[in-house]
Amino acid sequence: MPTPTSAPCPCGRGPAFDACCGRYLGTGAPAPDAESLMRSRYSAFVRGDASHLLATWHASTRPASLDLEPGVKWLGLDVRAHHAIDADHAEVEFVARSRVAGRATRLHERSRFVREGGHWFYVDGDFITKDRA
């Protein structure tokens, strides 16, 4: 379901969607850092925007297609850490909360990102915990 552009951004950073993650979804504008890209990817999950998710996934690990799980209600994002490893590599640890078929879930992941050609890309991640909230 699309987020109204004047509504608060789903990523929780604060400003309206169009002034936050909306600057990156479908625009080709690069996110300034790995955390901003990760937040835009969370917003893409909330909005059901598989094209943004694929476009920001590094070619070395990107699937050919992406089918988003139907019926997921995203409830919030908590960015726990953002570590720049060097100018072109970073990690972001986050917890994303959702509800699927009436059951609350938490996805706790440490994601790896790489910057190429001025654009950040999601490479892969490790689940720290995946449990019921």
Is 90 exceeded by the pLDDT of residue 132? Answer: no
First to last CA, the chain: 24
The sign of the dihedral angle between the CA atoms of 128, 129, 130, 133 is negative
Q: Are 66 and 54 in contact (CB under 8 A)?
A: yes
Closest residue by Cα to residue 45 from 63, 60, 25: 25
Where residue 58 falls among pLDDT bands split at 50, 70, 90?
Answer: very high
Q: Where are the beta strands (DSSP E) in the chain?
A: 72-86, 89-100, 103-116, 119-132
Average pLDDT score over residue span 104-116? 96
Where residue 1 falls among pLDDT bands split at 50, 70, 90?
Answer: very low
Average pLDDT score over residue span 65-85? 96
Higher pLDDT, 56 or 15: 56
- In whole angstroms, give the CA distance from residue 117 to residue 33: 13
* DSSP category for residue 24: T
Across all residues in the chain, what is the average pLDDT? 92
Q: What is the tens place of the pLDDT at every residue in 4-25?
A: 567 899 999 978 999 999 999 9
What is the percentage of the chain residues whose pLDDT exceeds 70?
A: 92
Closest residue by Cα to residue 115 from 85, 94, 93, 95: 85
Where residue 123 falls among pLDDT bands split at 50, 70, 90?
Answer: very high
User: φ and ψ at 66, to 5 degrees?
Assistant: -140, 120
pLDDT, residue 5, reads: 67
Tokens of 28: 């080709």
- In whole angstroms, give the CA distance from residue 51 to residue 89: 23
